[in-house]
Amino acid sequence: MEKTLPHHQLIEKEIIPQLQFGQEDVLPDKESKVRRQHDLERASRLGNGYQGKVELSFQVVTGDVLRVQTTIWQVDKEFTTIKSGVTLPTRSILGVEFF
């Protein structure tokens, strides 16, 4: 049986500064957080070296899950910086999709 992922709203990166994010990490366990950090660092290398885009899924304070297709420029444990200097809390990111 094929696994289907739920469809979440795709937004433009320019909207992100207007969003509010929760204070708690959206991932439940340490293993998921380590995987997220690894994927974000890989995406940052891809973005800086080749201007390669990824799709980020992230959760806002209301619980809604949104997506953005972008280039990741810089990552640390607190914040992720994407193209145009837009930042979002790393704790709000659910996953990274490479294409």
pLDDT tens-place string over residues 59-87? 999 999 999 999 999 999 999 999 999 99
- H/E stretch holding 59: strand 54-59
CB atoms within 10 A of CB 29: 9
User: What 3-state class would DSSP assign to 73?
Assistant: strand
Q: Please give the CATH number for the structural domain made up of 9-98.
A: 2.30.30
| Bridge partners of residue 86, in order along the sequence | 82
Give the pTM.
0.91
**Banded model confidence at residue 7, pLDDT cuts 50, 70, 90:** confident
Q: What is the pLDDT of residue 6?
A: 59
Q: What is the DSSP string of 8-23?
A: -EE--GGGGGG----S
Q: Is the dihedral of CA 54, 81, 90, 77 positive or negative?
A: positive
Residue ranges per structural domain of the chain: 9-98
